Structure 1
Amino acid sequence: MQYKLICDEELDGIIEEYLSRKGFERNNYSYDVILLQNDIKRSQPHDQVSICFNKSNLEEFFSLMDRMNTFAHPKFIIGKKEENFSIINFEDIHYFESKNNTTYCYTESEEYICKEKLYELEQMLMGKDFIRVSKSNIVNIMKIKQIIPWFNYKLMLVFYNDEEIIVSKNYIKAFKQSIGM
């Protein structure tokens, strides 16, 4: 969800940091909602959806944003195996892979087909434990057992199910930052 934030400087950094960790994106030009501190004396747009908050009730404001995030970002995906559909919790997924215009979802021992494209999954999984590591893979960093330096400045990820995926050069920096490496 994209938001525009109107508040005093003291709260700006605190709120932006909190919301970015939750997968919200700040965008002052194209946004879904305006987050507005009540006691700010600025003109308020009357034709936009706004959420107003006070400095004194930040905890309640953060709780509301967390609840909104839960609705905006589901905790599962539907996967298809043969002719059956399954609900797959994100925490059970090791990685997603795109091959021949089809997206696959891999768990500990199963492989499913997903209707979502990788770019859609990337948006859905923002703020969760997933990161894109190549044009064709998004991985769950909580399912990585080992990270091995690989040829040409790449990394090999070994998962708990012993599957292996290479982090391509274009994605190494973001991957390392996301895990604090």
Structure 2
Amino acid sequence: MIQLVGSKKVCEKLKVELSKYNIERDAEYELVLVERGYEIPEDKLCIVFDAIDYMTVVKLLISGNRNNLHKDTVTGFRENKYVLIEPKDILFVEVNSDCIVAHTILHEYSMKETLQYYEMLWSEKGFIRANKSQLINLLHVKEIIPWFNSRYVLKMANGAELEVSKMYSKILRNTLKI
């Protein structure tokens, strides 16, 4: 289905991300992903991207491949049990020392995938990055407090206060039109 043309490092990263969404690479490809600076195949549909934007290409591809995604529930682990959790019940997700933790009003659950995975999966459900280690659900933000150096503090429904870094503050402002 897809051919990759680019540096070994970027192609390896793309292979990992594409496999998460069951997007296959095949000799009989229909689409070519080409890292800028590499030769563009003729007579094929190509997407040319900068190496730093490889995740944007993945987002573009999965936006047309939604049937393969299991976005309605995720599996969390708590007290030696697995639990199905709906994204709307999650207040925020954060990186812990050894895993990803999803916070709901009542409990915390360990999860297996990366923060970047959940960010891509739920971006259309109102989840945005607050900083490099936290992803928040805007539906559960109770207050947005302007903070020092163009940053914000978000008060969540469970009382937690999360700091939005300067880098992600611009995205928050654009998303909420503030």
Select the structure of larger CA radius of gyration.
Answer: 1
User: Are residues 175 and 73 of structure 1, via their aligned partners in 2, closer, same or farther at CA, if it must alter by over 3 Å?
Assistant: farther
Give ranges in structure 2 of 5+ residues lacking alignment: 3-30, 35-42, 46-62
**Aligned partners of 1:107, 1:88: CA distance in 2, in Å?**
9
**Which residue of the other structure, out of 168, 172, 175, is the alignment partner of 1:171?**
168
Question: Given the two structures, how large is their TM-score scaled by the length of structure 1?
Answer: 0.61
Q: Aligned ranges for residues 95-174 of structure 1 at < 5 Å?
A: 95-174=92-171
Alignment match of 1:84 (pick from 77, 81, 86): 81
Number of aligned positions between the proteins: 126
SS in 2 for 1:75: coil
Identity score, percent? 29
Query: Deviating runs (4+, > 6 A) in structure 1?
Result: none
1:30 to 26, 29, 33: 33
The Cα RMSD (Å) is 2.7
Q: Which has the higher contact order (CA 8 A, sep 6+)?
A: 1
SS of residue matched to 1:100: coil
- CA pair 70-155 structure 1, distance change in 2 beyond 3 A: farther
In structure 2, the partner of 1:11 is: none
Aligned 1:44-55 pairs, distance under 5 A: none
Which amino acid is the alignment partner of residue 150 of structure 1?
A: W
Deviations along 1:71-122, one digit per CA (max 9) or x if unpaired, are 4351111000020010000000000000213110000111000001111111
Per the normalisation by structure 2, the TM-score is: 0.62
User: Alpha-carbon deviations, 1:29-66, whole Å to 9, x = none?
Assistant: 539xxxxxxxxxxxx969xxxxxxxxxxxxxxxxxxx9
* Contact 1:73 1:125 (8 Å CA) reproduced: no
